[in-house]
Amino acid sequence: MTSSGGDVHSRNGEHGVSSFSASSHQRIVHIPNILPHERVFPIQIGSELFKLSGASLSSDAPSYFSQYFLCQLKRASDAGQDPSTAIRTLYIDRDPVTFKDISLHLQGYHVRPRDATHFVRLFADAQFYSLPKLISQLYEEPIHITIGSTPFQIPRDIFSLSGPGNTPNFFTLGFAIFFSNPEDLFPGLDREGLIRPPSIVPPSVPNRSAEVFEELLHMLRGYPVKIRDETHRQELLRDCRYFNFKRLEQSLIPHEKGFNQARGREEILLRLRDILKSGISVVNEPVVGDPLAGWVNYARPYVDDKPMELVLEVGEEGTRLHFGPGGKELRAGFFRDTKTRVAKLFEVVATKLNLPSSTQPLGLLMAKGGRSSEPPTPGHTPLSEDLVRVILDPEASITLDGQPWTPPDDSNQNTYPLPAHEETTINTPGTTTIPAVPSVPSVPSSAGGGPLTAESPLEISNPSTPQQQHQHQQTSPAENPRKRRRLDSNPPPFGVATVPTSPLGGEEWIVKTGQWRLRIQSVTTKNPNPNPAKASVECCLVAVKLDALSSERRRNERRGFLGG
């Protein structure tokens, strides 16, 4: 029989009809001799009577049926009775419609669940009747679930075939309760004394969109999905996070990557809120005078095979630039969630540099209630003060109040210096050493022809001393009465704009959206009592592209009307 099965396989295989091996063919045909194959056994399920042969009942055994009738045959044999008259009908109070499919399975047909309801009924009764082959088959069936109001059949291998990071997920973890072991009856229930299996609610996720999930499945199969707009992208990302498709989520977040020919390296642009600590790394690129210099790199977890230089986008008006007198120092402050995210980012970078993630002593932290009681701020990391050092790269694209802006064009001054260094080299292939200069105007004035000032000097400044104020009033009492009224009022009357004053003594810019590189460089300080908790390196923000505002008026000018 084995050889004939092998011949049949060989002949069919030549014509592409069958792909069964001889061993699998033999395994399907062979039925163990548990019950007499030719004898018929009556089973009543609910109100309907089924008569199945011993071959059918033995095909998926040992089971509840085979054990019941085997005991009856043994009892009749011991009593010397005729088995045909001694066998009694087995009555089970279950659904006859579901048992029709089970009887088809026992007769050798492949039964496939039609939907989630049919699936859980087959599963519950297969467990109750102890049918090992049917349980194993259901264990390998696609996951049947209803998303929204639409039924789905999800192949079990789709998550592993789509790459690492998409499993474990909502489905593998949720269905593992029922399918962790095909031999388990029901988790937490004992077979002894179990009259009937517990009811199982068909799995469903009513609060998610079927249309969005269909697109996620399409992507898991390897097909691209066109992102229609930002709302569509956020819908996909929201459900990726809900179902824990981590790899798919990383491929969907807004990003831009490519090769920067000017810098000679790969780079990736990402938003601050999309940064994960597992993707951060620091690449050391020593330069002349700074052997500790380097750049923060990033690789999206599960997606990118190598790290690229990170260009970080910070938006939502969460950044304010503070200028020191003469432009000798430039720092950035952050607000709300942006401040927290920047602090967390600096903590991770410090960890990558084998530095402590916080400058707060453990005893002090515990006295204040632990790490969670401390508000996250860059100043609590060893890589920065609360105001983060900023470098305006000469190649940076800066838009101020809607107009392109460049540093003042002076014979001796063409850029802001790199703070904390007498001469620092930005490690850009083909570029340059940027000299530190002693004095640079922080923001160009309108009189100097700069495209953007906060306000006209006459509208924002008063004489600096009482003598000058008195002299000013005496020399021109009637030439400009409007100006005199302003000088007599302190503070200026409502509606008169003033330039924001930076903690560094200069002016301020509100950065609507900024793109930055993160540079690691050595700290050079003239402070005789430096903070011992700070590291010998710091993390600086190197400007790539900025969209900034110089005043509240400029911000209001760009404000739109609702529905306009």
Beta strands in 365-507 (DSSP E): 388-391, 397-400, 403-405, 423-425, 433-435
* Res 79: pLDDT: 83
Q: What is the DSSP letter of 272?
A: G
Q: Is 260 helix (H, G, I), strand (E, B) or coil?
A: strand
* Res 270: pLDDT: 96
Angstrom distance (rounded) from CA 329 to CA 540: 12
- Cβ of 379: how many Cβ atoms within 10 Å? 16
Angstrom distance (rounded) from CA 185 to CA 193: 13
Angstrom distance (rounded) from CA 517 to CA 507: 23
Q: Is 209 helix (H, G, I), strand (E, B) or coil?
A: coil
* Res 3: pLDDT: 40
User: Helix H segments across 41-95?
Assistant: 54-59, 64-79, 83-86
What pLDDT tens digit does each residue of the chain (564 aa) get? 334 444 433 334 444 444 444 444 444 568 888 999 999 999 999 999 999 999 999 999 999 999 999 999 998 888 888 877 888 999 999 999 999 999 999 999 999 999 889 999 998 899 889 899 998 898 888 888 999 999 999 998 898 888 889 989 998 887 765 555 555 555 555 555 566 777 888 888 999 999 999 999 999 999 999 999 999 999 999 999 999 999 999 999 999 999 999 999 999 999 999 999 999 999 999 988 889 999 999 999 999 999 999 999 999 999 999 988 877 789 999 999 999 999 999 999 999 999 876 655 544 444 444 455 567 889 888 899 999 999 998 899 999 999 999 876 543 333 433 333 333 334 444 333 333 333 333 343 333 333 333 333 333 334 444 444 444 444 443 344 333 333 333 444 444 444 456 677 788 899 999 999 999 999 875 555 566 667 789 999 999 999 999 988 888 988 889 876
Q: What residue type is assigned to position 253 of the chain?
A: I
Per-residue CA distances from 480 to 22, 457, 484, 495 (Å): 108, 15, 6, 19
Percent of residues in the chain assigned helix, strand, coil, to nearest 5: 35, 20, 45
Angstrom distance (rounded) from CA 229 to CA 344: 30
Angstrom distance (rounded) from CA 276 to CA 148: 31
How many residues in total does the chain contain? 564
Angstrom distance (rounded) from CA 481 to CA 410: 37
